[in-house]
Structure formats: structure tokens, C-alpha cells
Amino acid sequence: MTVERQRLLTERLRLLKRRTGLSLAALAAVTPFSKSTWHRYLHGDQLPPRAAVEALARLAHTDPEALNSLLSLWDAAVQEQEQGHSRPPTPPPPTPPGPSVRPRRLRPPVRALVALAAMATTVALTAGATDALDHGVAVEHMEHAVAACQYSGH
């Protein structure tokens, strides 16, 4: 890949990353590529695989015409690389091992969502228990009032 094409591709990828508003860690959390891998792609140290370009474009809500332009630039860079002008293309990321080998960890946004759901459940249960207790207290007061009325002859 010529230095100019690599620089142009890197600039476009950086613009897309800025448009997403995501940090490298957040980008890693929502894609199959690590924080350090994104750093290499966005600093021009390594040609990203097509899947990384597509993922970043999707996260940046890139329109189809701009996506086609970006992928054309990526295709040209890969062709030049294959002709021996630079490093070999980046292999796709390895497929994650099956669940029996290593359980998949929840990414930070998923963990936050799970924590939020747990807190909402706790609040709902607490509110329900409070209402039930308040109702029980109200019934008890009503029974005392009825008994007092009956005792006093009302």
C-alpha cells in the first residue's frame, strides 16, 4: 500500500471513529477487535481487515455511497499490498473459542445493562414490599378503628 493510500485510509477511519464518539476501549467492547488492534488500525501501523472497516462505518452510521468509497479505497490498498508494495494483508481476527474452552465475558456496556436491570428489579421489589406493608398497616388501623367503634357503641 502506498504511503498516500494508507494515510488517506487512516484519516478516513479516524474521522469515522470521531463521528462515533467512542473511545478505543468502547470500540473494542462493541466489535470483535481489541483496543490495541484498533490503535494500530487508526494510527496506520496495520491495514485493517474489511470487517473492521465495515464495523466502524456501521457504528458511524455511514451512508451507502460513502461506505462504497471507503471500501474502494480499502480494496485498492489491499491490491497494492498483494502486489508486494508493502506488508502482507492483516489476517481476519481468530474466531472466538467455544463456550467449553473459555466462557465469554460480558463487555462493559452489557455489564452496565445487567447492573441497571438488577437495580430496577430491586427498586420495583422494594416499592412493592413497601406498598404491601403500608396496606397491611392501613388494614390493621382500620380493624382497630372498627373495634373501637363497636366497643364505644358507634
45 closest CA partner among 33, 56, 53, 37: 37
DSSP three-state, residue 153: coil
Per-residue pLDDT, averaged over 122-126, amounts to 71
Per-residue pLDDT, averaged over 97-122, amounts to 62
C-alpha grid cell, residue 128: 412493592
Per-residue pLDDT, averaged over 114-128, amounts to 70
Place of cell 438488577: 118
Per-residue pLDDT, averaged over 37-52, amounts to 92
Cβ-based neighbour number of residue 55 at 10 Å: 18
Cβ-based neighbour number of residue 93 at 10 Å: 14
Residue 1 has pLDDT above 80, yes or no: no
pLDDT at 10: 87
Q: Is 128 exposed, middle or buried (0-12, 13-18, 19+ CB in 10 A)?
A: exposed
Q: Name the average pLDDT for the chain.
A: 76
Cβ-based neighbour number of residue 81 at 10 Å: 19
* C-alpha distance from residue 27 to each of 7, 40, 49, 74 (Å): 21, 13, 15, 20
Residue 55 has pLDDT above 50, yes or no: yes
Residue 61 has pLDDT above 50, yes or no: yes
